[in-house]
Structure 1
């Protein structure tokens, strides 16, 4: 398996330029299925990250009690109630992310998405809990599927222990991506993006401040927004991973204590990070 560092110059090379005459529909219609009564913040963080990362339209599918929480945090979002028809929510979406904070009883939603959504699909967090139940459908799927496990989630998917994954990160990510025909974002120090051909793209950015609840929700929102703006999946995913870490690095360089880096602060750093690198 080849391992390639995804560098600053590659991020800049692949960065999509906005047409001055473009409209909101030109920059990705993003759908987020996230949040539950006990985890409203996951939906809020994911949606805010998508909006800050350039998604043209961001719609959140969640439970009724979560809607005012997310609306207060991300007024740019629109909403769809979880109990309503899923296909209606998916209609017209360029990319969808599912899993942050939805709880482990929502596996039927994940199954439906894998089988029926024909655009790029990002699955994270609770959405990964029973992923290997859907192996047959995943192999049949033709549209891009991106999963974003941390080490523990990866171990569950593989049926291995965490020690195995830590000792074999590249092998684990590359083999799973090639076997299932998907993109695997194995989070951690030097996050790995593995593509369906088994190629590995290594991320050099980020710091230990990201080892905190909510960081993965932000990354999922960023990946979703980048998928809606880019023509190719791998540069979109690798650049989103890079900028997620870069935003956290900028916070520390600006004097933020590494212990005090939070997911919300990373979202607040996205705009300046984009400007620093791209403009």
Structure 2
């Protein structure tokens, strides 16, 4: 159904999966989004993700972060729910479980070695301190984003492995971003054959994944065919996951289907724009699954699950590009990611609530 459709036609189809506002809906039915990420050094990424998901239309946005990051993220806004359930090795509380000599040894061991070997002390912290709270929270989420602002700490990445495994057991949609993609380049089996997984690599992250899976990828090759073919190959080698290859244009690939989004956005490149996109993807993807589960009575379209997910990603990319264009028009070179968030609601309205589709 999606093949050879114009941007306008794809946006019209996307309206099928946009969840309407109905008086009978209760809080949470339009989306409970969980963002797992954020450490002492990186607090902005999980905020932008959760905030973007909320602005596009998710009812509830949660951030599950490292304990030292929680107070900072809480100060950004009262609109998000913050859960300080994760630990870095540098957290003072860890001294209760690991002595200084063992801690020094862990910190001097390579990430690859730590991730591919048993670490009883780290496993004990994860099993007793982290997972009991996390499992309860994960059960409440509709869609989970994992990886933003996670950092490369061994304990955090070990926790990340356990969380991905648990999310697969719960059969929840999962979006892997930032440091989760780094982890995936070391352990690709983590999401192999899990069709509800979505990857959001930028150019460098895509190249790292391609090398890990033996996919030919030339960073200097800017041809669209090359981007499409390598994205399709990455999706196939990982067993049908959705791949959103970011760049001058987004290539959205799943199994043997793909869409390309080259709607004009912003010429400005600032930290956090990718996080905004991933948050928007979470909300639209949740609506796509709600469409499939007939949460509302949709009289339009007979989209498959794969088509719904592809359209959800396309709709998110278009929304953020339009919001970015509006922010750049107003702020020019001084534009920041927070300015893009000012226009997310307006961009959504113009795309999906207006009587006629705007001309992009």
> TM-score of the superposition, structure 2-length normalised?
0.70
Match in the other structure for 1:266: 340
Contact 1:6–1:242 at 8 Å: present in 2 too?
A: no
Match in the other structure for 2:319: 243
Q: 1:162 to 1:207 in 2, by over 3 A?
A: farther
What whole-Å deviation, never above 9, does each CA across 1:232-279 have from its counterpart, x for those lacking one?
3222222111111111122244x331x233211111111111222223
Match status 1:184 vs 2:243: yes
- Alignment match of 1:22 (pick from 22, 25, 34): 25
Contact 1:210–1:263 at 8 Å: present in 2 too?
A: no
Let me know the Cα RMSD of the aligned residues: 2.1
Cα distance in 2 for partners of 1:156, 1:132 equals 6
Q: 1:3 to 1:214 in 2, by over 3 A?
A: farther
Match in the other structure for 1:218: 276
Q: 1:12 to 1:261 in 2, by over 3 A?
A: farther
Contact 2:266–2:325 at 8 Å: present in 1 too?
A: no
Cα distance in 2 for partners of 1:90, 1:130 equals 20
Q: 1:67 to 1:3 in 2, by over 3 A?
A: farther
Match in the other structure for 2:202: 150
> TM-score of the superposition, structure 1-length normalised?
0.89
Map 1:22-41 → 2, pairs under 5 A = 22-41=25-44
- Alignment match of 1:94 (pick from 132, 142, 145): 142
Contact 1:193–1:237 at 8 Å: present in 2 too?
A: yes
Cα distance in 2 for partners of 1:5, 1:150 equals 24
- Alignment match of 2:219 (pick from 153, 163, 167): 163
Cα distance in 2 for partners of 1:158, 1:4 equals 28
- Alignment match of 2:67 (pick from 59, 64, 69): 64
Q: Secondary structure at the match of 1:60?
A: strand
Q: Secondary structure at the match of 2:274?
A: helix
Q: Secondary structure at the match of 2:187?
A: helix
Q: 1:207 to 1:140 in 2, by over 3 A?
A: closer
Contact 1:35–1:63 at 8 Å: present in 2 too?
A: yes
Cα distance in 2 for partners of 1:238, 1:107 equals 30
Match in the other structure for 2:106: none
Q: 1:75 to 1:113 in 2, by over 3 A?
A: same
Cα distance in 1 for partners of 2:4, 2:235 equals 14
Quote how far apart the aligned CAs of 1:190 are: 1.4
Q: 1:115 to 1:14 in 2, by over 3 A?
A: same
Match in the other structure for 1:203: 261
- Alignment match of 1:53 (pick from 44, 52, 56): 56
Match in the other structure for 1:112: 162
Cα distance in 2 for partners of 1:250, 1:93 equals 32
Q: 1:139 to 1:52 in 2, by over 3 A?
A: same
Q: Secondary structure at the match of 1:65?
A: coil
Cα distance in 2 for partners of 1:4, 1:107 equals 40
Contact 2:285–2:313 at 8 Å: present in 1 too?
A: yes
Contact 2:35–2:63 at 8 Å: present in 1 too?
A: yes
Contact 2:199–2:242 at 8 Å: present in 1 too?
A: yes
What whole-Å deviation, never above 9, does each CA across 1:174-227 have from its counterpart, x for those lacking one?
1111221100000011111111x2211111324343522111111111111222
